[in-house]
Structure 1
């Protein structure tokens, strides 16, 4: 199973880079208060918040199990996290079946 996971991550190297970057950035923020996350470009250019503003803050609050803070930062997180988990698991499931054949 680990072999298939590593092969999946190698094939989907962009996922690996993006998830790795955000994983390291969020871990640094939570453990040492070092901010290396990319700021919202929409807000930097226009000065107005986009619908996704606060999503990282909401995700960090979810990791810390602070449900109210996550809702305050951006309530969309409660719909997007399950959808992304489902899509990644479905893609991985399809990858496994392509590699191993039907069981």
Structure 2
């Protein structure tokens, strides 16, 4: 177990209801990305890369106010939701 994993928060949804939530795996996937385990991170949580892209673009848009930044943020948000829902469906059904 890496030192980053000791700081992870438990999933209260999983503890309460016994099944993973839509975000389960995000923290572990982020740790895997930071460790350079890119394919393992994708297998853990497929939306990790689009989520990181959304975060980076959102921060850049706040600083630089891109002309069509809000449209790109919306598109990335919809893409993340879609990937997350498909992943959740494939895990559970």
Name the larger-Rg structure.
Answer: 1
User: What do the CA deviations read for 1:49-102 (whole angstroms, capped 9, x no partner)?
Assistant: 0121010111111111211110121111021110111001111224xxxxxxxx
Q: Structure 1 residues 83, 92: closer, same or farther in 2, change over 3 A?
A: same
The correspondence for 1:45, drawn from 16, 20, 45, is 16
Which residue of 1 is the match for residue 33 of structure 2?
Answer: 62
TM-score by length of 2: 0.60
**What is the count of residue pairs matched by the alignment?**
65
Higher relative contact order (CA 8 A, sep 6+): 2
CA RMSD of aligned residues (A): 1.9
Superposition misfits of 4+ residues, deviation over 2 angstroms? none
Where does structure 2 lack aligned partners over 5 or more consecutive residues? Answer: 66-93
TM-score by length of 1: 0.55
**Contact residue 32 and residue 41 of structure 2 kept, 8 A:** yes
Which residue of 2 is the match for residue 80 of structure 1?
Answer: 51
Where does structure 1 lack aligned partners over 5 or more consecutive residues? Answer: 1-28, 95-103
CA distance in 2, matches of 1:92, 1:35: 33
